[in-house]
Structure 1
Amino acid sequence: MTTFVDRVELHVAAGNGGHGCASVHREKFKPLGGPDGGNGGRGGDVILVVDQSVTTLLEYHHSPHRKATNGQPGAGDNRSGKDGQDLVLTVPDGTVVLDKQGEVLADLVGEGTTFIAGQGGRGGLGNAALSSARRKAPGFALLGEPGEARDIVLELKTVADVALVGYPSAGKSSLISVLSAAKPKIADYPFTTLVPNLGVVTAGSTVYTIADVPGLIPGASQGRGLGLEFLRHVERCSVLVHVLDTATLESDRDPITDLDIIEEELKQYGGLEDRPRIVVLNKIDIPDGQDLADMIRPDLEERGYQVYEASAVARTGLKELSFALAGIVAEARAAKPKEEATRIVITPKAVDDAGFTVTYDEAEDVYRVRGDKPERWVRQTDFNNDEAVGYLADRLNRLGVEDRLMKAGARAGDGVAIGSEENAVVFDWEPSMMAGAEMLGRRGEDHRLEAPRPAAQRRRDRDAQRDDAQREYDEFDPF
């Protein structure tokens, strides 16, 4: 059964915003008291949060589909809908968030670090919020926006100061078990370690973490063995430690060749050339192991490596090794630039930035309008309501979409698409849309809510209507 997962594909969906409400206030002796439709609630976000107690992505391996709750719709009497609840997903320290194309979206390091993986949709405005001096009683409300839905990839890169690399059964797990309090699985067969082991080492005043990378063999960077799965766990380390087996029973192997092969795999993987290296000649408690260590040590030192001899069984050479690693880690930490205070970067909007673009799509034979505002307004429009459609036309006109379409060469009857190719609203453009109020009459004005006319005015209107009717009757000639 799988117990450790360091890479998963996660399908997240934020909550949809609640729809606004179109309502008219009614009470005794005041049946038409004005619009009182409330706004819809905001949809919940999907948030990733680093939790030090979480060490694997196993939970998302079994349940890769996660969705936040939707916002509630508004109601009459100016009651706004309840916001959707955010969905908080805990991830291990060192989790990298990528999109489907492999582009890094976030690198989550440090307890409490957060990333919004899915943005909840905005709630739609009710007709009370849409009313104005010119639009006294809107007969429509805005729809809630759909929440953001996308596929992301989570990759765990162990946050460790020291990484032990080497052939299977070289003794990496044994070294971690004696240098720290970690209790990894240890056995006398290859690929005993199937997951990276992590331990904490204290050497003087320096405390650092140490991890091993299981399964490195020739071709690991191309996917052989387990190396490709776990090489990412050495990317954050400050120092690489080559653990060489001086007592191997395989006749076709020797420590120098093992070192060259592992270095070649690290080179093929890339990005680790600047990390300092240390060589540990392990298993010197075995007589043949000590003899081999004495033979190859001068060659390794000639190559520029710091060489240490150790035995996890006899517990020899461990103190010198732990303090040497502590010194390198302390130097690496001191060399890191200090974190600067958070700066707010203000990017002024360009003078000619209209917030949208109009381009001609020859393949589809339409003029395509792209921009945050136009696309959001389209998503919030109820196209079954003529008044709402006219309101959208007015908004687009005020934004300047009509002018830009005319400048781009659009003519009456040409197709116009607002949005991406996958999810666009397409209509036949008519220049009359620039007078949206003319398209649907005096939109948003309800004569029932206007002040009553004086009696004299009502009598004059009735007389005028009677005279018009009589004149039409007199002029009617059936022959």
Structure 2
Amino acid sequence: MSRFVDRVVIHAAAGNGGNGCASVHREKFKPLGGPDGGNGGNGGDIVLVVDSGVHTLLDFHFRPHAHASNGKQGQGSNRDGAAGESLELKVPDGTVVLTEHGEMLADLTGNGTRFVAARGGRGGLGNAALASKARKAPGFALLGEPGEEVDLILELRSVADVGLVGFPSAGKSSLISVLSSARPKIAEYPFTTLVPNLGVVNAGGSTFTVADVPGLIPGASQGKGLGLDFLRHIERCSVLVHVIDCATFEPGRDPMSDLDALERELAQYTPALGGSLAERPRLVVLNKIDVPDARELAEMVRPDLEKRGLPVFAVSTASHEGLRELSYALAKIVEEDRATRPTLEASRIVLHPTAVDDAGFTVLDDPEEEGGFIIRGERPERWVRQTAFDNDEAVGYLGDRLARLGVEQVLAERGAKPGCPVTIGGVTFDWEPSTPAGIEMVMHQRGSDPRMERNTRVGAAERKAAKIARRTPSSDDPSPDEQEAEEQQ
């Protein structure tokens, strides 16, 4: 038996970018062939695509994890790595994408609509792309970035023009079965409908869809019964139809009290797509008038309902009485609503230029490290992820990039001291002011950086001097001559 699933949580992991290659061209009689390392391939994306052939989120219920393929590593001879293949996930029309905190990211309507749920990581540059006047033959390459990993909530909100609401056993399923070719389950007990049913209705030259949701009871907007789970399926409806059972024998039930209870539940429900269900056009269907007492009751309450400004239709799903008038009235309301909707424009890209005074990063005080700082910004954090810290030349290149961005200048203005901890993207450094970026570098061995060695020696000397200064003089301390000899060593 097939299952209807309209809300799932998926774990989307995009592909990682491939690492760049650090290679030097080698050929007979050409000892200085130059760098020829290729770039790494980009990781694959996770893409949600609306497919008209999909009607439920059942596949994600059993397979909530989605992984795209990784990009391949670059190779020598300027060969770039292959990009990872994007993974397309088919979703039904009307799917809403939410964050785990309930923030809406996308409302997917229309066959073929696409949304990138998780972006693949960028591939790292090879040393051929990193060659410059300062570094003619880089001995390092950039690492590929990890792909995005996100937890998303997918909710299906049916795309229907007309929504049927009413108490259990009011005849909603019977009504949709006679208005359209839908064949929902119909039985003589409450809550027969456990999942929303959709039907297509043809009335004259108009075609529209009708949604039948499980019966509402008082308190449905607070989670009682099944109403809260399926009220989302009437959020897009142009018109709501109150189906009132005029042949019920339950004590305390009558058409007016049923209508008031339904109106309260609609007013208390807040649609995620905005607006209010209580503001939608509504009409009332007095059902089961094939029963003599029900017909008499329908004629009795019709004037009171019309005083509220609600169109009223008395129908019988058994004898089909009044159905033709109802279908044409619904078609008219739907056509009027479609005429007032704004025309959808073609997709376009909106560019948001960076502000002139935007440095691209911020410097914050580290609450956990006294005298420490935290650097936040898209570019600094991305550069740290791309750096291989087992290669001194790669670390020196990172220092140059940060210096050109102005990070070192801001740290100096904030009073940073040599050796203070600075955290960027989860990696903590002992800050040492380096050679200003942009000057001509001295030739050095591939994979090394003279500044790294100098900073290591200077930092060690300063820490040793601070340690000696903190010590309390005692009879066991060495003499000044011995201290001088120790420092020279």
Structure 1 and Structure 2 fold alike (TM over 0.5): yes
* Partner secondary structure for residue 284 of structure 2: strand
**Cα pair distance change 1:354/1:90, threshold 3 Å:** same
Distance 1:190 1:439, change over 3 A: farther
Q: 1:377 aligns with which of 377, 380, 383?
A: 383
Which residue number corresponds to residue 463 of structure 2?
Answer: none
- Looking at structure 1, the residues matched to 443 and 148 of structure 2 have their Cα atoms a distance apart, in angstroms, of 36
SS in 2 for 1:416: strand
- TM-score normalised over the length of structure 2: 0.87
Within the candidate set 283, 298, 301, 1:278 is matched to 283
1:337 deviation in Å? 2.1
Q: 1 CA distance for matches of 2:442 and 2:215?
A: 71
8 Å CA contact 2:263–2:278 kept in 1: the answer is no
**Contact 2:43–2:83 (CA under 8 A) maintained in structure 1:** yes
1 CA distance for matches of 2:268 and 2:20? 57
After TM superposition, the structure 1 = structure 2 runs for residues 273-352 of structure 1, keeping only pairs within 5 Å, are 273-340=278-345, 345-352=350-357
Which residue of the partner structure matches residue 469 of structure 1? none
SS at match of 1:273: helix
Change (3 A) 1:296 1:433: farther
The residue number in structure 2 matching 1:389 is 395
Q: 3-state SS of the aligned residue for 1:432?
A: coil
Amino acid at match of 1:317: G
Q: Is the 8 A contact 1:390 1:439 kept in 2?
A: no
RMSD: 2.0
Give CA deviations for 1:197-254 in whole Å, capped at 9, x if unaligned: 0011111121111101113111111111110100111111010100001111323322
Q: CA deviation at 1:442?
A: 3.7
The question of whether the paired residues in 2 share the 8 Å contact of 1:19 and 1:40 is answered with yes
| Distance (Å, rounded) in 2 between the aligned partners of 1:438 and 1:406 | 23
Find out whether 1:255 has 2:268 as its counterpart. Answer: no
Q: Which residue of 2 aligns with 1:428?
A: 430
Deviation at 1:67, TM superposition (A): 0.7
Percent identity reads 67
Contact 2:176–2:199 (CA<8 Å) still a contact in 1? yes
Q: Distance in 2 between matches of 1:235 and 1:409?
A: 56
Give, in whole Å, the separation in 2 of the partners of 1:22 and 1:437: 24
Contact 1:387/1:443 (8 A) holds in 2: no
Q: Which residue of 2 aligns with 1:50?
A: 50
In the TM superposition, residue 113 of structure 1 has moved relative to its aligned partner by 0.8
SS of aligned partner of 1:297: helix
Q: Secondary structure at the match of 2:328?
A: helix
State the number of aligned residues: 442
Query: Is contact 2:134-2:441 (8 Å) kept?
Result: no
TM-score, length basis structure 1: 0.89
Decide whether the 8 Å contact of 1:393 with 1:436 is kept in 2.
no
Q: Aligned-pair distance for 1:100?
A: 1.1
Aligned letter for 1:353? D
C-alpha contact 1:168 1:191 (8 A) present in aligned 2: yes
Residue 136 of structure 2 corresponds to which residue in structure 1?
Answer: 136
Change (3 A) 1:26 1:343: closer
Shift in Å, 1:431: 1.2
* Residues 1:360 and 2:365 are matched in the alignment: yes
The corresponding residue for 1:453 is none
Aligned to 2:186: 186
Query: In the TM superposition, what whole-angstrom CA distance separates every residue of 1:29-52 from its partner, at most 9, and x where no partner exists?
Result: 335422111111000000001111
